[in-house]
Amino acid sequence: MNFSSSTFIYIFLPLFLLLYPVADRLGKKNARLQRMRIPEIVTVLFSLGFYAWACFDNVFFLLIIIVATYAAGQLIRRWQDARAGEPSAAPEDRLRAVTPGAFLCGLMTVFLLAVLYHYKYAGTWKMNVWDIHVIPVITPLGLSFLVFSVISYLVDVYRGCHAGDFLDVAVYISFFPKIISGPIVTWKQWQGIGETCQMSVDNACAGVERIVVGLAKKVILADYFGSVIHATNYDWQSAWLISILYTFQIYFDFSGYSDIAIGIARYVGLRFEENFNFPYSSVSITEFWKRWHISLGAWLREYVYIPLGGNRKGKRRTLINLFIVMLVSGVWHGAGLGYLAWGAMHGACMVIERIVRDKKWYKKIPSCVKWLVTMFIVMVGWQFFRANSLSDAITHVGRMFNIGTSAELTFTWQYYVTPKLIAMLVIAFVGSTVFRWIQDLIQRKEHQRSKSFQVIQMVLSLCLFAVTLICITNTTYSPFIYFQY
């Protein structure tokens, strides 16, 4: 089920937004119902229904993952608690010993990665690398995000976090706003936001506004940019236009999804951390990754970069760890060589930036020049996402510099550039860069907002929602780009 589909907007989401407050209210009024935790049960049922809508068979896979994760977490926590009561061993003995909790955590992690490999990578690598014909298998929806969530739960429980009961684990893993494309919320973070979860009118209003903004990003901007150019033979100007359009499309598509997920969570009182913070205003690739898909960067830092040694083992090892993390990020997105090249490119840029960041000549480079270089690297990198193969991506990048352009052109750039496209590009540029400073100004004056300002904001949200619904009615179904990852 797509967040921008008619089924979700007109049926599923309204039902959830109506029934959850009722369940929450009943739980607060009746002690017995409160012990039954009706809101959590409603959330799990809606989440399973959401998952089953995409592929009914997948919901059994999800249930198996939930049960196995809960059982493993309980065993790990029990063994860790038992070990805590034992006399302390010598440091050298602790290093050599492999505890049952560590063994089970490692075993489950290997199993999950094997499942991820089977569904997401095995077929592609057998066909592309070994030239073996394989029968395609249907990958469970959101498998990459699901695996990351389960690994986070197991590792955090091993490190000392409370394991929770079965309902806690079921809600955490299956929570429908985040299960398909994130944001990736670690178990440690989930426990923190769960303790402060409180449904209120302010949270509900803020959540609905965020949902509307996310839908508008997806339907009005991302889907439009994705529908502009579908030519196979194009000139070098069109190649640049395609690259720019896809750069905006993937940002507004993915950040729009994150806005909807964060908005739904906020409606029920859960405050997820931001997943995007105007990444296209970055002046380096390092800064870009602090602003783009923030939850993925945080997960990789917590469960890959730090276990590898982080920056604790010298400068050379730090650079190697940075590069490995970006390679992992590339492989996580897909099995094709294009994803590996994308990760290697970003990793190499981060390594170079780490080496030169303290050089005087680098500090003297104007920020606008750094921004242009950063955005060029980002834009070229996205072509490895857009293309069907590494060779197609290289061909497209070559066409951007008039290398390999076909003599027989389907259309030239003049055909695509219309007043509407120019206006949408201006809106996209302002919304992804300049609006960062406008938003900061609004947030600094948050406490000064008057009732009239809030009314105006609500009216604007309603107007934006109306325009979004019109666009949904007049356009064809377009899934979120990150659904495939």
Measured CA to CA, the distance from residue 138 to residue 142 in angstroms comes to 12
Give the H or E element holding residue 191: helix 187-195
Beta bridge partners of 411: 234
Q: How many helices (H) and strands (E) does the chain have?
A: 26, 0
Query: What are the DSSP E strand ranges found in 97-156?
Result: none
Q: What is the dihedral of CA 170, 173, 177, 178, to 10 degrees?
A: 170
Active site residue: 333, 346, 396, 447, which one?
A: 333
What's the rounded Cα separation, in Å, for the pair 195 and 215? 29
Q: Which of 346, 412, 384 is nearest to 243 (CA)?
A: 384
User: How many whole angstroms separate alpha carbon 152 and alpha carbon 437?
Assistant: 34
DSSP conformation letters of 7-50: HIIIIIHHHHHHHHHHHHHHHHH-HHHHHHTHHHHHHHHHHHHH
Task: For residues 418 and 112, give the distance between their C-alpha atoms in angstroms, rounded to a whole number.
Answer: 48
3-state secondary structure of 411: strand
User: Which two tokens mark 308?
Assistant: 């590898």
Mark whether 230 is an active-site residue. no
Tokens linked to 240: 């640049």
Instruction: Locate 59 and state its tokens.
Output: 């919901």
Angle between helices 166-174 and 58-84 (to 10 degrees): 130
Please choose, from the candidates 430, 402, 360, 9, the residue with its C-alpha nearest in 3D space to the C-alpha of residue 219: 9
Q: Distance of CA 33 to CAs 21, 169, 355, Å?
A: 14, 20, 59
Judge whether 119 and 144 are in contact, CB under 8 Å. Answer: no
336 touches 389 (CB < 8 A) = yes
CB–CB of 381/345 below 8 Å?
yes
The dihedral through the CA atoms of 277, 283, 289, 293 has a sign that is positive
Q: Which residues are marked as active site?
A: 333
